[in-house]
């Protein structure tokens, strides 16, 4: 699944904060799910490797390495 597809699905959850990480766990950006459109388009095309829920209002999304 591409990140952009996931973020569109989550966009209605304005109380949810999403942290994007690379495959080594290095944080790229944290943002409110409702503000997903501010994420760079090159990130949006990357594939999701893993989703981790960190409570009710936070989640981490690990992205696969860019091709």
Specify the residue for token string 């591409």: 2
Instruction: Give the pLDDT of residue 38.
Output: 86
66: confidence class by pLDDT, cuts 50, 70, 90: confident
Asked if pLDDT for residue 67 goes beyond 80, the answer is no
DSSP three-state, residue 29 = strand
- Each residue's pLDDT tens digit, 10-42: 999 989 999 999 989 999 999 999 998 888 888
Q: How far apart are CA 16 and CA 61, in angstroms?
A: 13
Instruction: Give the pLDDT of residue 49.
Output: 96
Specify the residue for token string 């952009």: 4
pTM over 0.85: yes
Asked if pLDDT for residue 58 goes beyond 80, the answer is yes
């Amino acid at each position: 699944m591409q990140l952009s597809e996931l973020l569109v699905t989550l966009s209605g959850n304005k109380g949810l904060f999403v942290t994007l990480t690379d495959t080594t766990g290095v944080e790229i950006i944290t943002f409110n799910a409702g503000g997903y459109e501010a994420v760079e388009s090159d990130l949006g095309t990357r594939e999701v490797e893993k989703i981790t829920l960190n409570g009710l209002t936070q989640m981490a999304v690990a992205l696969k390495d860019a091709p």
